[in-house]
Amino acid sequence: MTSIDPNEITVVAAGPLASQSLTEAIGRLTGDAGLYFFDAISPIVDGETINFDIAFMAARYGKGGDDYANCPMNEEEYGRFYEALISAESVRPHEGMEDEAKYFEGCLPIEELARRGRDTLRYGPMKPVGLTDPRTGRQPFAVVQLRKENILADAYNLVGFQCHIKYGDQKRVLQTIPGLETSEFIRFGQMHRNTYICSPRLLNETLQMKEHPLVLFAGQISGIEGYTEAMATGMIAGMNAARLALGLEASAPPRRSATGSLVFYLANAEAKNFQPANTTFALLPPFEPEERKRVKRKADRHRIQVERGLEAFREWLETIGESSSLSNYAQAR
Ligand SMILES: Cc1cc2nc3c(=O)[nH]c(=O)nc-3n(C[C@H](O)[C@H](O)[C@H](O)COP(=O)(O)OP(=O)(O)OC[C@H]3O[C@@H](n4cnc5c(N)ncnc54)[C@H](O)[C@@H]3O)c2cc1C
């Protein structure tokens, strides 16, 4: 496929390495701001595993609410973190992609910034100005800021920590940060070539383009990552393409289900810093505070989320008249 006719029902599922001519055709439909060519993803940490005896909530100079968790470092702690960072092993570029670094101009990986000098990070993403550590009453030597994700419940993004380090080493480096010593990471940082659209600007939860409703997107190019996520969005886009062909309205699965929460993310994430997502529990609607107090164990909360998700998904299939065809399919298997 080299072009897209917005008047024809079309599912675009060309993946992260969509061919040149098709990428240009997509660019014409989305406009410049709608298409990305690389990922620069910061690690995301499970908020429940941050040690808030050390980390504290505050914004620089007290401005802009307290959506930031701050992990303060003294000089010695910074030294330990720095040594771990510069000795960590980076991912090698894929063969033939050695010049991919050019895509990342203006968005350097944190290990590269560190190599420029011992204090570069303290004047960049780890600058401590405008922050006071409540434990000492003083400005820390350096700070790691974590921003609360707006759709991922209980998840925090390490601001400016995009990196190219192997996952094992990344965990080791990140766990030298005071407050994150025993933290669990929902996703590690990555920087790689990836063609994907800015879905929150362009797509509805049905995976149709807002401007061109006969054109649907699925798979990694729609802003997801992973095998099951690619299949799930492929299924929704395929079902909706068929519904449009039959003169029916397109439909989106409920947010309570895993697939529903994925398409909800695509349509409703913050467009400005949009980054591709995997399916995680953090994508599902968060528990109400009261219920959360009642169900203390994380494993129990996850079980309840799964049960609710499956129930909501089955109800949705009934409503749109797809349950019989799917159960026939399951029986045939
Ligand atoms: C090395 C590596 C390891 C991975 N490991 C995992 C893993 O362990 N688990 C996991 O969940 N995910 C993994 N992933 C991610 C996963 O592979 C992708 O997210 C997923 O395969 C994307 O599926 P897709 O259908 O969107 O794209 P793709 O699988 O890339 O399929 C897109 C298809 O469209 C075709 N195409 C492109 N342009 C055109 C055109 N103009 N006309 C017609 N066809 C076109 C391509 O040739 C391709 O066949 C890995 C990815 C990589 C690179």
The CATH number of residue 287's host domain is: 3.50.50.60
Output the pTM of the full model.
0.79
Pairing of strands 155-158, 142-148: antiparallel
Name the closest-CA residue to atom 33, ligand 1. Answer: 14
Ligand 1 contact, 15 CB (< 6 A): yes
Q: Is 143 exposed, middle or buried (CB count within 10 Å of its CB: 0-12, 13-18, 19+)?
A: buried
Tell me whether residue 30 is in a domain: no
Ligand 1, residue 19: give the atom nearest the CA: 38
Ligand 1, residue 21: give the atom nearest the CA: 41
For residue 217, give the nearest of 259, 266, 255 by alpha carbon.
Answer: 266
Element (H, E) at 111: helix 110-115
Name the closest-CA residue to atom 7, ligand 1. Answer: 226
* Residue 73: HSE in the Cβ half-sphere, 13 Å Cα cutoff: 24
Per-residue pLDDT of the chain (333 residues; tens, 9 = 90+): 999 999 999 999 999 989 889 999 999 999 867 788 777 889 999 999 999 999 999 999 888 677 799 999 999 999 999 999 999 998 876 655 555 544 455 678 899 899 999 999 999 999 999 999 999 999 999 999 999 887 777 899 999 999 989 999 999 999 999 999 999 999 999 887 789 999 999 999 999 999 999 999 999 999 999 999 999 999 999 999 999 999 999 999 999 999 999 999 999 999 988 888 999 999 999 888 899 889 999 899 999 999 999 999 999 999 998 876 666 655 665
**Pocket residue to mutate for ligand 1, from 227, 233, 235, most atoms within 8 A of Cβ:** 227
Name the closest-CA residue to atom 28, ligand 1. Answer: 15
Domain count, the chain: 2
**Residue 333, CA distances (Å) to 259, 327, 329 in order:** 22, 10, 6
Q: Are residues 122 and 177 in the same domain?
A: yes
Name the closest-CA residue to atom 1, ligand 1. Answer: 94
**Pocket residue to mutate for ligand 1, from 10, 19, 192, most atoms within 8 A of Cβ:** 19
Domain boundary among 188, 217, 237: 188
Ligand 1, residue 1: give the atom nearest the CA: 42
Q: Are residues 166 and 63 in the same domain?
A: yes
Ligand 1 contact, 219 CB (< 6 A): yes
CATH code for the domain of 158: 2.40.30
The DSSP result for 204-244, as a single string, is: -TTSBBSS-TTEEE-SGGGTB-SHHHHHHHHHHHHHHHHHH
Q: Are residues 133 and 247 in the same domain?
A: no
Q: Are residues 258 and 129 in the same domain?
A: no
In this structure, are residues 218 and 236 in contact, taking their beta carbons and an 8 Å threshold? yes
**Residue 274, CA distances (Å) to 30, 201, 267, 318 in order:** 15, 10, 11, 33
